[in-house]
Chains A and B, each alone.
Chain A
Amino acid sequence: MLEIKNLHVEVEGQPILNGIDLTVPKGEVHAIMGPNGSGKSTLSYVIAGKDDYDITKGDILWNGESILEMDPAERVAAGVFLAFQYPIEIPGVATMTFLRTAINSVRKARDEEELSIPDMMKLIQSQAKQLAVKPEMLKRGLNVGFSGGEKKRMEILQMALLNPGMCILDETDSGLDIDALRIVSEGVNALRGPDRSMLVITHYQRLLNYIVPDKVHVMSDGKIVKTGGKELALELEESGYAEYDEDAA
């Protein structure tokens, strides 16, 4: 279970998050929707442990323990994973090498035995196939020359391989056409389960047709301003964010 309590965050003295309260119980999928600039991506980075943010008040608990003092790699080992809105290209790091390093780092941190190379290859290849990640992509530099859809599929592949209990998906639908959106969503849905929670951050309702949430939260000006069921997303699609966002009005 993820619990965010009265979270206040600043960047260079500018308040971005102004008291977020949010709980995602085990096995549930929650969506956060909101206009641009409402602080959605900041929230995802803060949960993942990015350096550039000052947490001035509040706490983030994962299964009852604060993760604020953990470095990003420790959070992944503990089970908190962020799929990036803009996956980073790293030329010179072969995708396969990267995946192997990530998997074994996490296994080691979890006191699990490191996988042998053949076992590792089998695991990666079978998961890759499900997400239509072609073998050539695994040989290339990480995300280098990948299309928008390929990059997002690679994010979901990493998510599947690192076996997190808490998945945060930051604007996973951005830059995807309908076919790519369907493949990525199927990949995400395959990972849904009673032991895994998800927080799906999106600007548009479209993604939530594929990944149907248990709850929808509306975020504006660094706060959760409304919470409802999946039908809230449809309402927002109709009315827009105008009533929540002074700037957009």
Chain B
Amino acid sequence: MELVRTPAESGLIDLCQTPSIEGPSWFTARQDQARDEFISLGLPHRRVEEWKYTDLKSGLKSLYPKASSQTPPSTTALNEALGATLATLEAHRLVLVDGVFNADLSDDAIGSDVELLPLTDGLKDASPWLEGLGDNLGQDRDAIQALNLVTMQGGVALRLAEKAKLDKPVHIIFANTNMKASSFASRLYFDIGAAAKVEIIETHISLNQDVSLQANIVTELMIGDWAQVSHVKFTKDTSDSVHLANVSGKLGKETDYKFFQFTLNGGITRNQIYMRYEGDEAKADISGVALLNGMSHADMTLVMDHDAVGCESRELFKTVLDGTAQAVFQGKVIVQPGAQKTDGEMMSKALLLSEHAEFDSKPELEIYADDVLCGHGATTGQIDDELLFYLKARGIEDAQARALLIQAFVGEAFELVENEQVREMMIDHAVAWYNQA
């Protein structure tokens, strides 16, 4: 059967013909393979099991022109777009303007035991520690990951030496400078040495308000034994935006990885997480909050792949939906043969504020070992009338009482954000959202 290409799909295939980034032969070979993969797979659609609830083929109506930064923003303009809390955040800044690393806006000295490479330079020099880039931990790439590898315009790679400890978090800022809707693909690559410790804060902003974006971002984390990584990500896109993100991590022995995603509205947002436990007794905590109104669609799809002994996975997601918003949670825990004493716990809860909102939840367990502890739970509910009456019977008016109850619903998840400044910033955004709901 001949594939029917949508205009967006044809545009993406054209983009694949001229990769923006060159590199050594191993990289070019991966790109060639990825190009073939994307051409054969096309945009994911509802008949692809993992994309059943997020049909990009019909959702991605047209392709926005490729982002180009003619004039990088000033630090003042950047700080203004970040807002007071993020602008004053004590952190090492790495700024990607329209997906491409910008040295002028970024901190040049992160630490003596940290190596920083803009992805274009790094690939030209073929640094050996980049060799995992685009390999997708040896797993099959999906169409969107494949597309990123061929079309990425830039990105940044960071290498932490053994036992490296940074004095401040690393704040990765994706700043869009375009006046009109645009698209970009970018990549983050982390090689984190044994017993190193790092806190990553990832934010996405637009210098011009209400500009829509189509973003494809891949993050790869190679986490060495005993390393500790905390990774917090915040997006608040326009309703015509498409944000496709992939985070994959390889977890060494006794590593500790924490990921938190805060999604505020947006158009189509998909965060896809893949964690592979390669060392014994590794831990990963994947959690988040999504507050969605209008026609926002947010998809959190994750696979926790346990292939070592005594590892732990924890997932906690809280989603609040208003209007005709739709949220998707697909969580899969795989326990490979021999991954005994695996401890996995997954929970996804949704609060529907409107009868037209929709929450689709698909937890899956694939267990091939016999001594494991795995559980999952999902709930969907509305604001409890008894609780609401109790608050109103204390003089709290309806709208404020509802806001308090939404806050109570998501609060448990926000508590998982360790950085106090970032947590407060997120809660401020959340409170503004509740008060509009």
Contacts of B404 in A (CB 8 A): 93, 97-98, 101
Smallest Cβ distance from B435 to chain A, in angstroms? 13
Chain A residues within 8 Å of B407, by CB: 92-93
Binary per-residue interface labels of chain B (398-412) against chain A in the complex, 1 for a CB within 8 Å, 0 otherwise: 101100110111011
- Is B394 in contact with A102, judged by CB distance below 8 angstroms? yes
Size class of the A contact interface (CB-based, 8 Å): 20 to 34
Q: A residues 61-103 with Cβ under 8 Å of B?
A: 71-73, 76-77, 81-82, 84, 87-88, 90-93, 97-98, 101-102
A51 within 8 A of B: yes
A43 sits at the interface (CB 8 A): no
Q: How many Å lie between the Cα of A49 and that of B394 in the bound state?
A: 12
* Contact between chains at B392 and A88 (CB < 8 Å): no
Cα-based distance from A88 to B408 in the complex (angstroms):
14
Task: Report the minimal beta-carbon distance from B375 to chain A, rounded to whole angstroms.
Answer: 20
Known: A50-B389, A51-B385, A72-B392. A90 touches B405 (CB 8 A): yes
Chain B contact-residue range equals 20 to 34
Q: Which residue in B389, B397, B408 is a CB contact (below 8 Å) of A105? A: B397
Contact B408 A90 (CB under 8 A): yes
| Distance in angstroms between the alpha carbons of A87 and B386 in the assembled complex | 10
A-B contact count (CB 8 A): 71
Which residues of chain B are near A97, meaning CB under 8 Å? 404
- Complex contacts, B405 vs chain A, CB 8 Å: 90, 93
Chain B residues near A49 (CB-CB < 8 A): 392-393
Q: B395 near A: Cβ within 8 Å?
A: yes
Q: Shortest CB–CB separation between residue A146 and chain B, in angstroms?
A: 14
Residues 389-437 (chain B) with a chain A CB within 8 angstroms: 389-398, 400-401, 404-405, 407-409, 411-412
Q: What separation, in Å, do the CA atoms of A87 and B390 have in the docked complex? A: 8
Query: When the two chains form their complex, are residues A88 and B387 in contact, meaning their CB atoms are under 8 A apart?
Result: yes
Residue A158 is within 8 A (CB to CB) of chain B in the complex? yes
A93 in contact with B408 (CB, 8 Å): yes
Once the chains bind, are B395 and A162 in contact (CB under 8 Å)? yes
Question: B395 contacts which chain A residues (CB < 8 A)?
Answer: 73, 76-77, 102, 105-106, 109, 162
Once the chains bind, are A101 and B387 in contact (CB under 8 Å)?
no
A76 to B394, CA, bound (A): 7
Residues of A within 8 A of B408 (CB): 90-93, 141
Q: A90-B405, A90-B408, A91-B408 are contacts. A162–B394 as well, Cβ < 8 Å?
A: yes
Is the beta-carbon distance between A102 and B396 smaller than 8 angstroms?
yes
| A interface footprint on B366-392 (CB within 8 Å = 1, 0 otherwise) | 000000000000000000011101111
Q: Chain B residues in contact with chain A, CB under 8 A? A: 385-387, 389-398, 400-401, 404-405, 407-409, 411-412
Taking A88-B386, A90-B387, A92-B412 as known contacts, 12 extra A-B pairs with beta carbons closer than 8 A to each other, sorted by chain A number, are: A51-B385, A71-B397, A76-B392, A77-B395, A84-B393, A91-B408, A93-B404, A102-B391, A102-B394, A106-B395, A109-B397, A158-B394
Q: List 20 A-B contacts (CB under 8 A).
A: A50-B389, A50-B393, A51-B385, A73-B393, A73-B395, A76-B392, A84-B393, A88-B387, A90-B387, A90-B391, A91-B408, A93-B405, A101-B404, A102-B394, A102-B395, A105-B395, A105-B396, A109-B395, A141-B408, A162-B394
